[in-house]
Amino acid sequence: MRMESSSHITITGDGIALDGILGLPGQPKGVIAFAHGSGSGRFSPRTQFVARVLETGGFATLLLDLLSPDEADDRRKIFDIDLLADRLLLAQNWLQTHASTRTLRTGYFGASTGAGAALQAAAREPDAVGAVVSRGGRPDLAGPYLSRVTAPTLLLVGGEDGPVIDMNKDALEQLTCQKRLMIIPGATHLFEEPGTLEQVAQEALHWFRRYLHPAPQQTREFQL
């Protein structure tokens, strides 16, 4: 897929300015907004790798820092899932008005704490998102919002990430949408092992292709 453009953007609202990167392939099939985990951001090599795979597969991407530089040093805000979800919804509203993305269906890709924010945002505005993917995420942090998520949700967890596997299994039970938990053999929390991040990116691409383009299917998955 030919890349049409990649541009640095700023989203403003609620008294905050958030910096991001908008990647646009030619004739995108949808747009994926990334919710980064603690200590990560739009310049993370892992995030950018997954974004490039999705762009090559035909999806626009929005890599957005959900916290300002000053906020990113505050541990309370890093784990403030309500705040992170608010910021993701601010980004979604921007995508719905931006000339290049307003006609595209949106998916969320969340990592670590960002997964909890993505799922809460998906529950709060269900019509705004068509699919969610979590990488090494903490979906449990979405708490009572989990049962309200309607977007098809894929949970990707490393096979060597024991505590997070259990958290994802608990979250899977609470989700009532189309859902799947996939455990990547040999991978630790950051998917640094050879080939594991590539598998994450490809599984995410398949999920978004299935549920964002064409229209979502009506089958339901419960696979471990």
Cα–Cα distances (Å) from 171 to 1, 116, 120, 179, 185, in that order, read 35, 10, 12, 10, 20
Task: Flag whether pLDDT at 219 surpasses 70.
Answer: no
As given in the structure block, the two tokens for residue 19 are 């910096």
What sign does the CA torsion over 1, 100, 5, 121 have?
Answer: negative
As given in the structure block, the two tokens for residue 162 are 């024991």
Closest CA to 67 of 123, 113, 31, 30: 113
Over residues 78-90, the pLDDT tens digits come to 889 999 999 999 9
User: ω before 194 within 30° of 0 (cis)?
Assistant: no
CATH 3.40.50.1980 for domain 3-213: no
CA-only gyration radius of the chain, Å: 16
Closest CA to 189 of 158, 154, 163: 158
Task: Flag whether pLDDT at 131 surpasses 70.
Answer: yes
Kindly list the domain boundaries of the chain, sorted by start residue.
3-213
Task: Note the pLDDT of residue 152.
Answer: 98
Task: Note the pLDDT of residue 218.
Answer: 42
Task: Flag whether pLDDT at 197 surpasses 90.
Answer: yes
Task: Note the pLDDT of residue 5.
Answer: 74
DSSP 3-state of 38: coil
Task: Flag whether pLDDT at 189 surpasses 70.
Answer: yes
Task: Flag whether pLDDT at 29 surpasses 50.
Answer: yes
Tell me the pLDDT band of 214, cut-offs 50, 70 and 90: low
Cβ contacts of 179 within 8 Å, gap of 6 or more: 152, 153, 154, 155, 172, 220, 221, 222
Over residues 50-80, the pLDDT tens digits come to 999 999 999 999 999 898 888 877 878 888 9
Provide mean pLDDT across the span 3-24. 88
Task: Flag whether pLDDT at 223 surpasses 80.
Answer: no
d(C-alpha 79, C-alpha 59), whole Å: 29
Task: Note the pLDDT of residue 38.
Answer: 64
Task: Note the pLDDT of residue 41.
Answer: 73
d(C-alpha 158, C-alpha 175), whole Å: 20
Mean of per-residue pLDDT scores for the chain: 90
DSSP 61: E
Q: Strand 222-223 to strand 179-184: parallel, antiparallel, or no bridges (unpaired)?
A: parallel
